[in-house]
Amino acid sequence: MKVSEDNFLGTILELAERTGWTAYHPRPAMVSIQERISYRTAAQGNGAEGFPDLFLAKPSHYCIMAELKSETGKMTAEQEYWRDILELSLGVRYFLWRPKDWDEVTQVLFEPAQGDKRGRAGQGQKLGTLKTPKTTTKKDSLLRKARR
């Protein structure tokens, strides 16, 4: 069965949420340039192109950066550059995942905590005290202002 990259991403995001991971995936926007439809992701910096599809974080775990591809999808030179940098980075686990790698995906997302391996940013924060931020929409903000 052929699985698209988008469907694969959705399945991983569902599993990540069920297993306690906080996930981030930048969604590209459809744009029209000289009457041609293209997709662009708003990003800045000298490494904006090729940035991995998925960032996952969970207390007492390494951060995960994953590039997702269909079974036949190919990595760009920029994606390979990011892979090379992230594989040498501390505190980050990099993966290239395709639908055939589902067993590895589930194994990684179900891995038990590795103990307290927080860096400076996490010092002083007790594990278990992190709260999921409430998503606020523009409508929520307007309703709050109207109630004042």
pLDDT (0 to 100) of residue 36: 82
Higher pLDDT, 47 or 9: 9
Higher pLDDT, 133 or 71: 71
Dig out the tokens for 66 from the structure. 């994953």
pLDDT confidence band for 52 (50 / 70 / 90):
very high
Q: What is the mean pLDDT of residues 126-144?
A: 49
* Residues 25, 129: Cα–Cα separation, whole Å: 24
Q: What is the mean pLDDT of residues 102-111?
A: 96
Report the CATH fold assignment for 5-116: Trna Endonuclease; Chain: A, domain 1 (3.40.1350)
Q: What is the mean pLDDT of the chain?
A: 80
The one-letter amino acid at 64: I
Q: What is the DSSP string of 7-66?
A: HHHHHHHHHHHHTT-EEE-PPPEEEEETTEEEEE----STT-TT--SEEEE-TTS-EEEE
